[in-house]
Amino acid sequence: MAATPSGARSRFVVVGGGIAGVTCAEKLAMEFPSEDIFLMTASPVIKAVTNVRQVSKTLEEFDVEEQPSSLLEKRYPNIKVIQSGVEQLRGDEHKIFTEDGKEYVYEKLCLCAGAKPKLISEGNPYVLGIRDTDSAQAFQKNLAQAERIVVVGNGGIALELVYEIQGCEVIWAIKDKAIGNTFFDAGAAEFLIPKLSAEKQETPIECKRTKYTMEGSEEKERPVAASDKLGSALGPDWHEGLSLKGTKEFSHKVHIEVLCEVKKIHLQQEFLQLQQTSLAFPKEVKNVEPDEVLWPVYVELTNGKIYGCNFIVSATGVVPNVTPFLAGNNFALGEDGGLKVDKHMHTSLPDIYAAGDICTASWEPSPVWHQMRLWTQARQMGWYAAKCMAADTLGESIDLDFSFELFAHVTKFFNYKVVVLGKYNAQGLGLDHELMLRCTKGQEYVKVVMQSGRMVGAVLIGDTDLEETFENLILNQMDLSAYGEDLLNPDVDIEDYFD
Ligand SMILES: Cc1cc2nc3c(=O)[nH]c(=O)nc-3n(C[C@H](O)[C@H](O)[C@H](O)COP(=O)(O)OP(=O)(O)OC[C@H]3O[C@@H](n4cnc5c(N)ncnc54)[C@H](O)[C@@H]3O)c2cc1C
Ligand SMILES: NC(=O)c1ccc[n+]([C@@H]2O[C@H](COP(=O)([O-])OP(=O)(O)OC[C@H]3O[C@@H](n4cnc5c(N)ncnc54)[C@H](O)[C@@H]3O)[C@@H](O)[C@H]2O)c1
C-alpha cells in the first residue's frame, strides 16, 4: 500500500464483509499475492464460508461463520480490512470516502454491500425485519414476550419462521393462494402444510453457526429495535441455536390468511379511537377478538379482518443497498433497484464491479438460470467478479462461469431437504410446459417441469436422491419423450438409464 497525500491507495478495493465481498477479496488475494486488497465493511465481523461440500456439479452446501476480521487477515496477509462504512463514491475520480472521514483511491472496485429488508412500513417500531445478527436477536427478544405475532410475506424467511416459532400464535398473511410462493407451487404447499399442525419434531441438528443467546429479557412495551448499523445477511440454518419461543406452552399454532395484504397498521390507542367512529371502521371490517382483549398493535388486512398482535414481522423481500453509492454516479439500475452488471460482473461505470445481493444480473442468462438473492449466488458472484477483475487487469478474456449455467439451490424447509433446479416453478415459460409429479405423503414430493420433451426444472422435497440425475438431464437437454411417465416411476431406477 502506498500512502498518498489524498489518502490510501490500493489496486483493488472491495466494499462489504458479507459472503460476496469476503469471497471476492479472498480470490483477489490469491490471484495477486503481492498486492494489498482493501476490504471495507460497515460491520465489525465478516462472514466466512467454511466446509464447502460439492453436492453435485452445480449444487453446493457450506457452513457460514461470523468471524472477527483479524482471522481473515491472518489467513490472507495481503487483505487489509477497514472497518468503516462507505459514505460516498466518486466514480469519475476512482475514490471512495468512509464515515470516519478517510479517502481511498482504487484502480478497480467491487461493490458487495448487500441488501436491506423491504419492510411493509418503514419506521414503525412494531414492524420488524430480519436480516443480520442484530435484527435476529431483536426479533428473538420480542418473541420471548409475545403471545401472538403477524407474519407478512410468503418467501424464504416466512417459511422458516412459521415452522420454527413455538409457544406463540402466528397469523400468517400471504398474498397468494398457497404457502411458499417463491419456492413452491400449490401442490408442494399442500404436501408441506400438515407439518404446520404437527408438533414440531425436535430432531437434534448440529449447530453450524454462532449461537444467539437470550440476554436478560427486559420488560418493554415497545419492541426492541435492531441497531441501524447494517450487518451481513444471515444464512442457512440461522435459527439453529436461537430459541424462537413465545410465552405460551403450545408448539405450533399457525393461522393462515390467504389472498390478502396489509391494508393498515393501527396502534392500540388509534384502534380504540377508530372503533368508536363507525365512519372509519365500516361494518364489514371485522375485529377477530372480543373487545376486551387489548393488543399493542392491530393489523387490518385487505380481506376485512383485523388481528391484534404483539408485533409484526415483515418478511417481504429485500431491496439492494445502493444508496451510499448513487450520488453523483450515473449507475444503470435494474427494475429491482440493483446495480446492473454485465456478464463480467461489471456495472455501467468504468472499473466498478458488483456482486451478491446488491447487483442485478443483466446479461442474457442461460435458459435454466435466473438470479435469486441467495447465499450460494453471493459466493459464486463474489468469486467470479474477482476473476473478472483479474482478467481485465491482466488483459485476458474470460468466459461466464459454469455456475451460471443452471440455477441450483439446496435448502431446508419444515425439516425437509429441498432442492430446486432450473425453472423449478416454470418461471417465464407461460403455458408452454408440462408438469410431472410424484408424491408420497409425509415422505417426498417430486415435480419436474418439461418443455418439448426436455427437462427444464425440478422441485425435490425429501431425500429423493434424484438431484444429480436431474441436474444432468437439465444440463444436457436430452429428449426424454420416449421415457414418458417412467421418468418418475419409483420402481424404475432412473440413474441406470442416464448415468
Ligand atoms: C434470515 C435470512 C435467511 C437466509 N437464508 C438463506 C438460505 O437458507 N440460503 C441462502 O442461499 N440464502 C439465504 N439468505 C440470503 C443470503 O443470506 C444473502 O443472499 C447473502 O448472504 C447476501 O450476501 P452479500 O454478501 O451480497 O450481502 P450481505 O451479507 O448483506 O453483506 C453486505 C455487507 O456489506 C456491508 N455494508 C453495507 N453497507 C455498507 C457501506 N456503506 N460501507 C461498507 N460496508 C457496507 C455490510 O456490513 C455487510 O458486511 C438468507 C437471508 C436472510 C436475511
Ligand atoms: N432457505 C432459503 O433459501 C432462504 C431462507 C430465508 C431467506 N432467503 C433469502 O433471503 C432473502 C429475504 O427473504 P424474504 O423471505 O424476505 O424474501 P423473498 O423474496 O423470499 O420473499 C418475499 C415474499 O414477500 C411477498 N411480498 C412482497 N411484498 C409484499 C407485500 N407488500 N405484502 C405482502 N407480501 C409481500 C412476496 O410475494 C414473497 O412471498 C431472499 O432473497 C430469500 O431468497 C432464503
Mean pLDDT for 429-435 is 91
Percent of the chain with pLDDT over 70: 90
Identity (one letter) of the amino acid at 307?
Y
Question: Which tens digits make up the pLDDT trace of 79-115?
Answer: 999 999 999 999 999 999 999 999 999 999 999 999 9
CA atoms within 13 A on the CB side of 18: 34
Alpha helices in 277-398 (DSSP H): 323-326, 375-394
Of 66-80, 177-191, 481-495, the least confident: 481-495
478 CA distance to ligand 2 middle (Å)? 33
Q: Which three cell numbers stand for residue 429?
A: 415459460
Q: Which three cell numbers stand for residue 302?
A: 385487505
How far apart are the C-alpha atoms of 137 and 226, rounded to whole Å? Answer: 8
Q: Which atom of ligand 2 is nearest to the CA of 418?
A: 1
How far apart are the C-alpha atoms of 433 and 444, rounded to whole Å? Answer: 23
pLDDT reported for residue 360: 98
Domains of the chain: 2-116+319-404 (3.50.50.60), 119-314 (3.50.50.60), 415-498 (3.30.390.30)
Residue 167, pLDDT above cutoff 50: yes
How far apart are the C-alpha atoms of 298 and 129, rounded to whole Å? Answer: 17
How far apart are the C-alpha atoms of 212 and 220, rounded to whole Å? Answer: 20
Q: Is 361 left (phi over 0), alpha (psi -120 to 50) or beta?
A: beta
Ligand 2 within 6 A of CB of 316: yes
pLDDT reported for residue 213: 32
491 CA distance to ligand 1 middle (Å)? 43
pLDDT reported for residue 207: 33
Is 108 exposed, middle or buried (CB count within 10 Å of its CB: 0-12, 13-18, 19+)? Answer: buried
pLDDT-derived band at 203 (thresholds 50, 70, 90) equals low
Mean pLDDT for 47-75 is 89
pLDDT-derived band at 205 (thresholds 50, 70, 90) equals very low
Ligand nearest to the CA of 374: 1
Q: Which atom of ligand 1 is nearest to the CA of 357?
A: 26
Q: Are the C-beta atoms of 180 and 159 separated by less than 8 Å? A: yes
pLDDT-derived band at 201 (thresholds 50, 70, 90) equals low
Of 95-104, 153-162, 446-455, 484-493, the least confident: 484-493
Pocket test for ligand 1, best of 45, 49, 139, 234 (most atoms within 8 A of CB): 234
How far apart are the C-alpha atoms of 15 and 111, rounded to whole Å? Answer: 5
pLDDT reported for residue 323: 97
pLDDT reported for residue 60: 87
Q: Are the C-beta atoms of 242 and 211 separated by less than 8 Å? A: yes
CA torsion sign for 193, 198, 200, 201 is negative
How far apart are the C-alpha atoms of 214 and 435, rounded to whole Å? Answer: 46
Question: Which tens digits make up the pLDDT trace of 217-239?
Answer: 333 455 765 656 678 888 667 78
Residue 2, pLDDT above cutoff 50: no
Of 10-14, 49-53, 178-182, the least confident: 49-53
How far apart are the C-alpha atoms of 387 and 383, rounded to whole Å? Answer: 7
pLDDT reported for residue 499: 59
pLDDT reported for residue 6: 59
**How many Cβ atoms from other residues are within 10 Å of residue 259's Cβ?**
12
How far apart are the C-alpha atoms of 480 and 486, rounded to whole Å? Answer: 10
Is 194 exposed, middle or buried (CB count within 10 Å of its CB: 0-12, 13-18, 19+)? Answer: exposed
Helix/strand/coil for 342: coil
450, containing H or E segment: strand 444-451
Residue 205 pairs in a beta bridge with none
How far apart are the C-alpha atoms of 257 and 312, rounded to whole Å? Answer: 14
276 CA distance to ligand 2 middle (Å)? 36
pLDDT reported for residue 53: 87
Identity (one letter) of the amino acid at 453?
G
pLDDT reported for residue 212: 29
- Residue position matching grid coordinates 476490504: 39
Mean pLDDT for 33-45 is 94
Q: Which atom of ligand 1 is nearest to the CA of 325?
A: 41
DSSP 177-220: SSS-TTT--HHHHHHHTHHHHSPPP-------S-----------
pLDDT reported for residue 160: 94
Ligand 2 within 6 A of CB of 313: no
Residue 140, pLDDT above cutoff 90: yes
Ligand nearest to the CA of 238: 1
